[in-house]
Amino acid sequence: VFEVLADETNYPLVFHCIGGADRTGCLALMIEELCGVDEDTALKDWELTGVRTVQLNFVHAKTMNHFLSHLAEYPGDTAERRMRAFLADCGVTSAQMESVRRIMLGSAAPR
C-alpha cells in the first residue's frame, strides 16, 4: 500500500473498503501519524468510524485495540516515531515514508 501511496503518479487516489472502519481506518491512522498528527487526534478520527453494523459484522474495537497494543511495542516518544518504526518493520522504506508525508502534506512537486 505504501508503495502505491509513495508514487506521485498514482494521484489523485482513493482507498476504501465496504465500511471504512477496520482496514481502511487503520491505514488512515497510519498515514495521519506518519504525517505528524498527534495520537489523540488520530485515534478520535478512527473512533468516528466505529459504528457497529450488523450486516457487515465489524469488530472495530477489537481491531483497534489489537493494532494499538501492537504499535505500543515499538520504540519512540511520539506516535509518528512509533509509526515510522512499525512501517520500517513492515518493509516500508524511509524514502517511501518521506514521499507519502510530502504528498499528503501538500508539498508535492508541481506537475
Distance, in Å, from the CA atom of 59 to the CA atom of 51, rounded to the nearest integer, reads: 9
The b-or-e profile of 4-32 (16+ CB within 10 A means b, else e) is: ebbeeeeeeeeeeeebbbbebbbbbbbbb
pTM of the model: 0.84
pLDDT at 17: 76
Which pLDDT score, from 0 to 100, does residue 110 have? Answer: 47
pLDDT at 111: 44
SS (H, E, C) the chain: CHHHHCCHHHCCCCCCCCCCCCHHHHHHHHHHHHCCCCHHHHHHHHHCCCCCCCCCCCCHHHHHHHHHHHHCCCCCCCHHHHHHHHHHHCCCCHHHHHHHHHHHCCCCCCC
How far apart are alpha carbons 99 and 51 in whole angstroms?
32
**pLDDT tens, position by position, 74-98:** 999 999 999 999 999 999 999 999 9
Q: Which three cell numbers stand for residue 11?
A: 494521484
Residue 40: the pLDDT is 93
pLDDT digits (tens, 9 = 90+) for 9-66: 999 999 887 765 678 888 999 999 999 999 999 988 887 766 555 444 456 677 778 8
Give pLDDT, residue 49. 67
